[in-house]
Chains A and B, each alone.
Chain A
Amino acid sequence: MPVQGIEGGHLKLLTKRDLRKIHEATLDILERYGVTVHEETALRILDDAGATVDYKDEVAKIPPYLVEESMKKAPSTVALCGRSSDYDVILEGKKVYTAGGADAIYVIDLETRERRPALLRDLRDFTRLQDALNNIHVVMGIVDPKDAPPLGVDRLRCYELAKNTEKHIIRDAQGMEGTRDQIKMAAAIVGGEEELRKRSIISFVDCTTSPLKHGKTNTEVLIEASKQEIPVIIECDAMAGGTTPVTLAGTLVVQNAEVLSGVLMSQLVNSKTPVIYGNMSSIMDMRTANIALGAPELGLIQVITAQLAQYYGIPFMGCGGMTDSKLLDIQASFEKTLTLMQAALAGTNLIHEMAGMLDSLFTVSYEQVVIDNEIMGGIYRALKGVKVTDETLAEDVIGEVGPLGSHFLAKSHTRRFLKQEHWMPEILSRERRETWEKKGSKEMREVARETAKEILETHWPEPLEKDALEIMNEIVKAAEQQKKYL
């Protein structure tokens, strides 16, 4: 049975009219100014479909009808399957799921607590840790290991991810070859490419470049994944004030133009390919020129992008739970909870980067993964809301205990509804001070550290078949031998 999704979407900031205005401005930008596409196949596909293409500047101006048709045809439900169907995640409507962190280059060592470069063993351990935690549903390449060879690192990461989790994995790729190889690797696991198309355990991210550009490598990924009908996320990472207008509405127009033109290219290649609207857009901090990833503006962009994706009827992968803090501290908790809550209330179908990430995504922490899993648990409870039925109003049991009774603890009603009504935190402290002191007066980080260690000592996902491992290994080795990067 797939993971049971919890519905978000309680929070809406824009009216339908506002959304339509953003949509119309988007169409206008695409038609009048177009997008740069640094990839010739894609330009030809757009040209053939009716766009006006300038091959010298690599700019395609796209008529509105093309965009509108492709948005109508794009599938409204996308299944991100796990190696085990218990981990299948069905993105649709306002259901909220999560995906872990991606691409940190430093880790905070679990033993020394010092920051050091991320290594391959961290990739394995972080992946296993996320595999074990209930509120993380999809796994990404959480670190870029320093000890990995630069060539074919995308295949190597794919190999390590697939080995260390049974959950769905989202991948980046070094262009067309990298995409092809990783699809072959995933196919080896599930028993062939036909099987993979039915139940894909892998999906790809195509990141656009603001303003209004589709880079070569990412467009290759988009086209190759689309050809093979593997789910693809078209993700805009705008920086309001820097790469997009300072106004959030203007940023949303640029973001929308990039993503919609990406969806169009994917749809033109293969209209059956599942596409996901993606983003990690925020503001540029004008004191430092850095992107602010724990900002409330990032949360606002999540809410409105979720509304836009719902308006178009395609799934949305947003983000939340990031922080610009360098430490596991109060700023981290504040920024994480704020943006995660915003993304969840928006009904973001997949909130990515929500586990373990610190330091504007440069650093990842084992303890923080456990803490973020806990934060998400609380947020899920908040999303569930309150159900009012005859049974939950509980008149019968109120009467049974009555004004003469003492408590409801021994009532079967209590036990029956306990688990659906009350969230049970796993690492928060709710004991009395003296009990807490007896247990060592531990800070949450300390408890999270112990939990992470225990999981890493005991949790091992189902191993892959020998044949699949061999095929994957060969692909990884061959990619390392390439003559040049990409």
Chain B
Amino acid sequence: MALLDAQTLARLAGVRLRARAVMEGVLSGQHKSPHQGQSVEFAEHKEYAPGDELRHMDWKAYGKFDRYYVKRFEHETNLRAALVVDASASMDYRSGALSKLEVASTLAGALAYLLVRQQDAVGVTLLADGGAREIPARASAGHLNVVLDALEQVKPGGTADLLVAADRVAESLRGRALVCVFSDLFDTREGALERILSLRHRRNDVAVFQIVDPTELDFPFDDPTRFLSMEDTRFIEANPRELRESYLESFHAFLESTRRSCAEAGADYERVRTDEPLDQVLLRFLARRQRRRG
């Protein structure tokens, strides 16, 4: 399965199957990538220091550089990943086969697969109804099922409080961690995104997956429409043709602002359309991380 488009994924029932399919697509894609020799397990070289295990000495490097280097592996970094999934009511929106929440869950599940496969600890924070449900990070294979079950069973509703989510994650993380946020980021409260990005200051890697629906990007409505808020009681009757230009201007400004904030904070930013192949999204994300490390 080279490309996992939204239609194909939608036919797979449940997050578990979809996440696994995406994960396999990612592994298959990595196999074909130009970074083939760089196993996810091999992370970096380190100059030998007393106390290092001699079995990890890289004798070939010694032959080349006349210095002692030892190989270091990822699992030795004890990476902890926190996957923050927005399950607010606005994430239930869909115009195609998958809702934004289904896309977010699938991406989070696939990432969990990959991380657990390389023995990293994975935890999940689900944001819904103004609160947060946490599943602490663990690296065991059995924990993967817990994570996937949580993603499977989450019901969209209410609002997502990114401020609370940032605080919870900050409290739960000890040491360096990877924080992945899957959200449409429609929490417009002052400083919500900044609070998430502030995790970066504590030597955490932060990745933001902004999930958007194609109709949010294009606003392709023509007929007079009563737009209803999915999180509260707001509504508006409007002729979409009259608003399209202004809407697109506002929405794309919001996306650009988010991207710029992430870039300024040194966080990874991925804009994910709900109709694009998700394995490609993850491949793109992993490739970018590889480049940053190299």
Pairing of A with B: no
